[in-house]
Structure 1
Amino acid sequence: VPGATSFVTTNRDFYRIDTALQVPRLTTADWRLRIHGMVDGETTLTWDDLAGFEVVERLVTLTCVSNEIGGDLAGNARWTGYRMSEILDRVGVRPDADMLLSTSVDGFTVGTPVAVVRDGRDALLAVAMNGEPLPLEHGYPARQVVPGLYGYVSATKWVVDWELTRFDRAQAYWTQRGWAPQGPIRTASRIDVPAPFARITAGPVVVAGTAWAQHRGIGRVEIRVDGGPWQETEPATEYSADTWRQWRWVWDASPGEHRLEVRAVDGTGAGQDEQRRPPVPDGATGLHSRTVTVG
């Protein structure tokens, strides 16, 4: 659908949110990943050591917790890297460790639930994005990608340190500033076309957009006009539960000003939270809408 979000986001168009005033320029020769804390054996991995792990490639949608309803701080890319769980298995995580405190080369910290990293999902130490080495601004040479968690609790760029610890003993950068310590991604949906306040011709109009509920998947997407009954849209085939899902709906538009609203139901059958709330402390909720004029 012309104007709709593409399924794969290009590296150039992928959103960037971080605290780096100057993008770190770390080489593969200099890169090290120290793994320590509540482990059976502390270790430090070099770039060459990564060759000892299986390489995997997955399409995963990332979302920023600061994304407003209908916002564009979400993107879907093809990530290549190594399963974080396999790396952790090498060092032996102690049973009472529940936080992976990761640190960027610039000192930024992120706290990720150990249980999420090890529950079978494709949590990756990623080294490539859409078939190319990670761009500098997206974490070169290595970053984390964890399906189902907002970036502030998972997606550490330029990562150089993993400490196994506990949530009752440590706080990461954004948690110290009032955000929730654990951030599962909320179900969200967005209208991409028609554009806001568009003037369109009466008759059949294609309405299209995107919905996401990473690691739960999207079961269905519904739309309504002027507060009327909810109607099911036509979703694209689901690639996986870890990627967003495109949808479309053909509307027989009548003359006048109209308000379109969208909502999604995730793969477990749970509906999108319709109450309007701001992003702080654990993600925005509410329904996205578009007002258009039909002539």
Structure 2
Amino acid sequence: MSTETRESAPKAPGRTTATGIAVGLLTVGAALGAAELTAALARTTSPVVAVGDAMVDNSPPAAMELAIELFGTADKLVLMAGVVAVLVAAGAFLGVVSLRRPPAAFAGLFLFGAAGALALFLRRDDDAWAFVPVVVAVAAGAAALGLLLRSLPGTPRGRERGEPGTPPETGANVPAPGPDRGQGRRGFVLTAAGVLAASGTAGALGRWLPSVLEGPGSRESLSLPAAQDPLPALPRGVDLQVPGLSPFTTPNQDFYRIDTALTVPRLDSTQWTLRVHGMVDRPFEIDMDELLSMPLKEADITLTCVSNEIGGDLVGNTRWLGFPLADLLRRAGVQSGADQILSTSQDGWTCGTPTETVMDGRDALLAVGMDGVPLPHQHGFPARMVVPGLYGYVSATKWVTEIKLTRFADEEAYWAQRDWGVRAPIKTMSRVDVPAPLGRVDSGDVTLAGVAWAQTRGIDAVEVRVDDGDWQEAELARVPGLDTWVQWIAETDLEPGMHSAEVRATDGTGFTQPAERVDPLPDGATGWHRIRFTAE
């Protein structure tokens, strides 16, 4: 057919770019809503999370560290938003394509389904049920796309239904309007509204059902026993009560969360088991009933993330309740040469802990309680590991389901495969909390305050200096033991103007934290924390 004929063909009404974008967005919405609902019913991972997990598992360590540095504890939210944004953009593009090339749009939809299936192969979790939401999402998206295209003004009904004998399109790829074409603008609007309502309802149900489907093993139904020998109340003077200073005990809702799980696992404690095996004489499994019947103990422990920058807030302190990990390993009978405890979380993440650190007498726990209540879901319910003196990535497995005794030379944990250190003892560190960085204070008598930590070694001294002057020893608050941080306070007299404050700590071995700044990769940051503030 000639170019003149193509150009003279009338344009079908309602088939604009905006309409195509709307078709694409509604198609994506239908696919995502159906996927969320199916994932909830099957109690598995949604395709969006699966793609995010695959990105996390296969990203370079430097990229993951940069994400934590830029976004902190919001890194997961940013990643999920990015995945959804890509899906929305792709859906809008396919929607526009569908107006002229419906088969190409359907092919693109199936291609995205294949990408979702590939993501499931690439991530560390091997849940076969996770493929079901992907299949349902593609089917729902294809159904929505077909309905929307069929309802558009100017759509030949017979051709969209694939009826035999339908004449091919003429002129442009969009047919001219006619008496038997489409349902009119009103029909498209009604169809779009129906797709939107169905998608929104499915998505909302998918978000709501997990909490409703929780069985008798929910966190709310778990009652913790008392410790065999409860710790006394915290001594007076552990908290200096300085406004702006981090409290000695970090509230659960404020405790930092850094892990690779894009959605918080919600395990049923009645279904939970822990398997202890590998290089042991007596492998065994325990369930929650047995764990809670064991003699539990309490321990005040500060946890620190290896990604914590100098002056960062990826550190927190609380009282934990759990069973000693060393006693658990003694029950199994650790064989000679098993220098690594390779623990695995419910989502497949692995952690390598030096066996010697658990067996050397420190308060390493298989924890079930945090600040007097069952572990919050985001902090590992129903059970997690807590080992003082090591950064979390080599010690603090949440949602733990397996402990395997092995050798560092034989198996590498998740972060060790990405070139992070394999032993990672926590480094002596201190931080200025008051004044706040770039804050303003009254001139004259000024209070400086902050926290310092060196778990298993304790803090012997903290020194501060103002405007690069002489070091001044700060006053230390009381602490219940060596495994927690300590608050410090110092007073100084300042004239109005811009000032700086710097802090350093000396631990119980006599080691003073070095001035040289070192990035967190591969085994923790070092350096003095320095702030600037204004006295008025």
Asked if these proteins are the same fold (TM beyond 0.5), I'd say yes
Amino acid corresponding to residue 201 of structure 1 in structure 2: D
Partner of 2:409: 168
SS of 2:252 mapped into structure 1: coil
Unmatched tracts of structure 2, length 5 or more: 1-241
Partner of 1:235: 476
Question: Matched residues in 2 for 1:68 and 1:33: separation?
Answer: 33
CA drift of 1:52 comes to: 4.7
Report whether the alignment pairs 1:180 with 2:424.
no
Question: Matched residues in 2 for 1:51 and 1:179: separation?
Answer: 34
Report whether the alignment pairs 1:215 with 2:456.
yes
TM-score normalized with structure 1 length: 0.98
Partner of 2:322: 81
TM-score normalized with structure 2 length: 0.54
Report whether the alignment pairs 1:92 with 2:333.
yes
Report whether the alignment pairs 1:58 with 2:296.
no
Amino acid corresponding to residue 244 of structure 1 in structure 2: W
Answer yes or no: is the 8 Å Cα contact 1:56–1:81 preserved in 2.
yes
Partner of 2:258: 17
Picking from 193, 199, 208, the partner of 2:440 is 199
Unmatched tracts of structure 1, length 5 or more: none
Question: Matched residues in 2 for 1:89 and 1:49: separation?
Answer: 16
Identify the range of structure 1 (19-28 vs 79-88) with the bigger mean alpha-carbon deviation: 19-28
1:2-34 Cα shifts (integer Å, max 9, x gaps): 110000000100000011112111111111111
1:193-252 Cα shifts (integer Å, max 9, x gaps): 111112222211111000000110000100011111111000101221100000000111
Report whether the alignment pairs 1:6 with 2:243.
no
Question: Matched residues in 2 for 1:122 and 1:196: separation?
Answer: 35
Report whether the alignment pairs 1:246 with 2:490.
no
SS of 1:58 mapped into structure 2: strand
Answer yes or no: is the 8 Å Cα contact 1:53–1:86 preserved in 2.
no
Question: Matched residues in 2 for 1:60 and 1:98: separation?
Answer: 24
Aligned-pair identity (%): 58
Question: Matched residues in 2 for 1:96 and 1:188: separation?
Answer: 33
SS of 1:12 mapped into structure 2: helix
Amino acid corresponding to residue 257 of structure 1 in structure 2: M
Report whether the alignment pairs 1:139 with 2:383.
no
Amino acid corresponding to residue 268 of structure 1 in structure 2: T
CA drift of 1:37 comes to: 0.6
Partner of 1:154: 395
Picking from 55, 60, 67, the partner of 2:308 is 67
Amino acid corresponding to residue 32 of structure 1 in structure 2: T
Picking from 354, 357, 362, the partner of 1:113 is 354
Question: Matched residues in 1 for 2:364 and 2:515: separation?
Answer: 29
Answer yes or no: is the 8 Å Cα contact 1:55–1:80 preserved in 2.
yes
CA drift of 1:106 comes to: 0.4
Greater relative contact order (CA < 8 Å, ≥ 6 in sequence) = 1
1:97-125 Cα shifts (integer Å, max 9, x gaps): 10000000100000000000010000000
Amino acid corresponding to residue 337 of structure 2 in structure 1: D
Question: Matched residues in 2 for 1:273 and 1:62: separation?
Answer: 21
CA drift of 1:51 comes to: 3.8
1:162-182 Cα shifts (integer Å, max 9, x gaps): 000001111000111111011
Partner of 2:123: none
Amino acid corresponding to residue 42 of structure 1 in structure 2: P
Partner of 2:127: none
Task: From the two aligned structures, give the one with the greater strand fraction.
Answer: 1
Amino acid corresponding to residue 237 of structure 1 in structure 2: R
Picking from 496, 502, 506, the partner of 1:261 is 502
Q: Alignment RMSD, CA only? A: 0.9
Count of aligned residue pairs for this structure pair? 295
